């Protein structure tokens, strides 16, 4: 299967959620498990369901990198000479 197309805003949201989880998650601590982090931080701020939260965590970090926009060959440029 090919990579799924993700919009720039979705990638930004995924990065923000990953940063929150990396800062707060601790294995073995029930007050810092994924469900607690989702309930306390993610749901009020982003308003996404738990299943979506878990799917965001499953996306490899390499897919979240910004890809340079491809120049359209039919688009005219103001500054070409």
The reply to whether 42 falls in a domain is: yes
What is the number of domains present in the chain?
1
SS3 state of residue 2: coil
78 pLDDT more than 70: yes
For residue 17, which of 39, 40, 41, 33 has the smallest C-alpha distance?
41
51-72 per-position pLDDT tens digit: 999 999 999 888 888 766 677 7
The reply to whether 35 falls in a domain is: yes
The reply to whether 46 falls in a domain is: yes
Where are the extended beta strands (E) located within the chain? none
Question: Which structural domain, as residue segments, surrounds residue 29?
Answer: 8-59
pLDDT for residue 5 = 80
The reply to whether 36 falls in a domain is: yes
**Range 6-21 average pLDDT:** 93
The reply to whether 40 falls in a domain is: yes
Share of the chain above pLDDT 90, in %: 59
The reply to whether 78 falls in a domain is: no
The reply to whether 2 falls in a domain is: no
């Amino acid at each position: 299967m090919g990579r799924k197309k993700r919009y720039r805003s979705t990638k930004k949201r995924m990065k923000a959620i990953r940063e929150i989880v990396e800062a707060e998650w601790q294995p073995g601590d029930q007050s810092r498990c994924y469900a607690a982090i989702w309930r306390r931080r993610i749901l009020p701020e982003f308003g996404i369901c738990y299943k979506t939260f878990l799917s965001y965590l499953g996306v490899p970090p390499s897919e979240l990198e910004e890809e340079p926009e491809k120049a359209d060959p039919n688009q005219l440029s103001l500054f070409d000479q």
